[in-house]
Amino acid sequence: MGRSPCCEKAHTNKGAWTKEEDDRLIAYIRSHGEGCWRSLPKAAGLLRCGKSCRLRWINYLRPDLKRGNFTEEEDELIIKLHSLLGNKWSLIAGRLPGRTDNEIKNYWNTHIRRKLLNRGIDPTTHRPMNETNCAQEITTISFGSGAAAVNMKEEQQEEEDHKLMMIKSSYVFQENDEKMVMERCPDLNLDLKISPPHPHQTDALKTGGRNRGLCFACSLGLQNSKDCSCNSNNGTSSSNNGTSGYDFLGLKAGGVLDYRSLEMK
C-alpha cells in the first residue's frame, strides 16, 4: 500500500502566500500554539496543506526570526559549521539564532559557495581546489582488483570502522584530532558543555518529532554505531531531568549534547 498524500491536493492553494493567509496562520498559532500541522489548515480555515503551513511559519512568520543581511561573523560561522557538519542545515541553523535552515541553505548556495570558490576553496570539502583534485586522483587509484576476494562481513566492518574513523577525525574528541580540527577552525570553540535541551528539542518532545534529545552519534546518523549510547528512551529521560548520560567517542557526560554550545571564542 502506498503512502497517503499529505493533503487533498485538489482543494489546496499553492504558490505564494497572501497577506490574509499569513494573518490567519499567525492568529491561529498565537491562540492555539504550534503542533498538529496536519489538522491546522482546516482548523485555521486555510486552503493549504499542513506542510506548507509549517514551512511558512518556520521560515517566514515566526516572531523570533532575524530578517536582513547576514553579518560577516555569521558568514564565517556558517562556513566553519558547514566544514564540520556538511549540509546539515538544521543543525547549522540551530547555532544561528533567528536564522532558518532554509535561509541558510539559500544563502549558502547563492553567496557563500561563490565566496569560497573565489578564495580557491572547494565548498564541498573545504579544502584548496588543487588539493581536492589530488585527493580524488588518489581515491581512484587506491581501489584495487583484489576487493572481490574480501569477505563481505569484513568489508562491512571495515566500512563501518572507516566511517567512524572519518567522523572521529572530523569531529574532534581526542587530543590529536582536536589539534587537527583546531588548525582548520582556529577560532571555533568545540568544548562540549551540558545544558538543558534547547527549544527545538523541547518542541520536538511535545509534538513527537524526530529530534528528541539525541546523542551526538545519532544526530550524525550513527544510530547503529557502537559509540552510540542513545536509545529510544534517552531523549525523553534526558529532557525530563537532564541527568541521563551519553558516551560518544570516549567522551562521557551527563545530559544532552546541545549543539548551541559550540561557540565562537
Least gap, CB of 128 to DNA (angstroms):
22
Segment interacting with DNA, rule: CB under 7 A, options 72-80, 144-152, 162-170, 205-213: 205-213
Cβ count near 16 (within 10 Å): 6
- Give the 3-state secondary structure of residue 117: helix
- CB nearer to DNA: give 11 or 14: 14
Residue closest to 97 by CA, chosen among 58, 67, 65 = 65
Site string for DNA, 104-123 (x = CB under 7 A): -xxx-xxx--x---------
Q: How far apart are CA 235 and CA 233, in angstroms?
A: 6
Q: Which residue from 11, 19, 30, 210 is in contact with DNA, where contact means CB under 7 A?
A: 210
User: Smallest gap, in angstroms, from Cβ of residue 6 to DNA?
Assistant: 5
Cα distance between residue 10 and residue 3, in whole Å: 17
With beta carbons less than 8 A apart as the criterion, state whether 83 and 126 touch: yes
Pick one of 25, 77, 80, 89: the residue that binds DNA (CB under 7 A).
89
Residue 30 in the binding site for DNA (CB under 7 A): no
The CA-to-CA distance between both ends of the chain, in Å, stands at 53
**Shorter beta-carbon distance to DNA: residue 36 or 165:** 36
Q: Decide whether 36 or 150 has the Cβ nearer to DNA.
A: 36
When the beta carbons of 130 and 231 are compared against DNA, the nearer one is 231
* Residue 15 in the binding site for DNA (CB under 7 A): yes
- Residue 70 CB, shortest distance to DNA, in Å, is 8
Whole-angstrom distance, CA of residue 80 vs CA of residue 222: 22
Q: Which residues contact 100 (CB under 8 A, 6 or more apart)?
A: 58, 59, 62, 65, 93
Stretch that binds DNA, among 8-16, 143-151, 162-170, 256-264 (CB under 7 A): 8-16
C-beta of residue 246 within 8 angstroms of C-beta of residue 256: yes
Interface with DNA, residue 88, by CB under 7 A: yes
DSSP code of residue 254: E
The SS3 of residue 92 is helix
Q: Is 232 in the site for DNA (CB under 7 A)?
A: yes
Residues linked to residue 195 through DSSP beta bridges, in sequence order: 256
Interaction site with DNA (CB under 7 A) = 1, 3-4, 6, 13-17, 35-38, 48, 50-52, 54-56, 59-60, 87-91, 101-103, 105-107, 109-111, 114, 200, 203-204, 207-212, 214, 218, 223, 232, 235
